[in-house]
């Protein structure tokens, strides 16, 4: 894919082709659409991963509290 679709992967080739004005308009439109789609996917992943991380953190803290016997977060911090 790096050699056959290099405009979609290699930013240096894109810069070179932009300087020489040799990018086809349809390719430019495809690249813009893919950039927008990539942005949406990154936003969706962020909204999916961040809450999951907080849930896992809460579970981990409850396990640590059970092991150390601390009932409140303040007690847990003071034991460290």
Tell whether 41 is covered by a domain.
yes
d(CA 36, CA 18): 19
Tell whether 1 is covered by a domain.
no
pLDDT profile of the chain (80 residues), mean per 10: 70 86 85 88 90 87 82 58
Tell whether 52 is covered by a domain.
yes
Q: How many domains does the chain have?
A: 1
pLDDT of residue 21: 85
Range of the domain at 19: 6-79
**pTM of the shown model:** 0.52
- Give the up-direction half-sphere exposure of residue 63: CA atoms within 13 A in the CB hemisphere: 6
């Amino acid at each position: 894919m790096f050699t056959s679709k290099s405009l979609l992967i290699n930013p240096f080739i894109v810069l070179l082709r932009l300087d020489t004005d040799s990018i086809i308009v349809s390719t430019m439109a495809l690249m813009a659409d893919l950039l927008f789609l990539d942005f949406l996917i990154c936003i969706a992943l962020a909204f999916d991963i961040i809450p999951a991380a907080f849930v896992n953190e809460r579970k981990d803290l409850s396990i640590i509290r059970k092991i150390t016997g601390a009932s409140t977060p303040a007690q847990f911090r003071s034991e460290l």
